[in-house]
C-alpha cells in the first residue's frame, strides 16, 4: 500500500474512514525525516501491516493534525485505531516504529 500525503483538510476524515492508521509527521527541512521516508514506504507494503493505512503529514503546514498527536519533535509517528490516538513516538529507528505499529494489532 502506498503512503498517502494528507493535510489538515482531510486528516480527520482519513482517521474516521480507516480502522488502523499510522502517521509520520515530518518537515521539509528535517534530514532525519527525509532519510526515514523510504523505510516508511517499505513498511507500508509489509504484509504484517496489511489493512493499515500509512499517512504522511507535513507538521509545519498542518497544525491541527500536529496538535491531535501532540507532536513535539520530528520525525514523529502516531498510531490511530478507530479514529483515536493509541500511542506515539519520536524516533528515527525503524525497529521503534515497527513496535509502535504493532500496537494496532
Question: What are the catalytic residues?
Answer: 30, 33
β-sheet bridge partners, residue 80: 21, 85
What's the grid cell of residue 49?
A: 501491516
Between CA 55 and CA 63, with CA 57 as vertex, the angle to 5 degrees is: 140
Contact 83, 16 (CB under 8 A): yes
54, containing H or E segment: strand 52-58
| Omega within 30 of 0 (cis) for the link into 75 | yes
Amino acid at each position: 500500500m502506498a503512503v498517502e500525503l494528507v493535510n489538515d483538510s482531510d486528516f480527520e476524515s482519513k482517521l474516521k474512514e480507516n480502522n488502523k492508521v499510522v502517521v509520520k509527521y515530518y518537515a521539509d527541512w528535517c534530514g532525519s525525516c527525509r532519510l526515514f521516508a523510504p523505510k516508511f514506504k517499505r513498511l507500508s507494503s509489509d504484509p504484517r501491516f496489511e489493512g493499515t493505512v500509512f499517512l504522511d503529514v507535513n507538521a509545519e503546514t498542518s497544525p491541527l493534525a500536529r496538535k491531535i498527536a501532540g507532536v513535539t519533535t520530528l520525525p514523529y509517528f502516531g498510531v490511530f485505531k478507530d479514529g483515536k490516538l493509541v500511542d506515539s513516538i519520536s524516533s528515527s529507528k525503524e525497529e521503534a516504529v515497527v513496535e509502535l505499529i504493532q500496537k494496532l494489532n
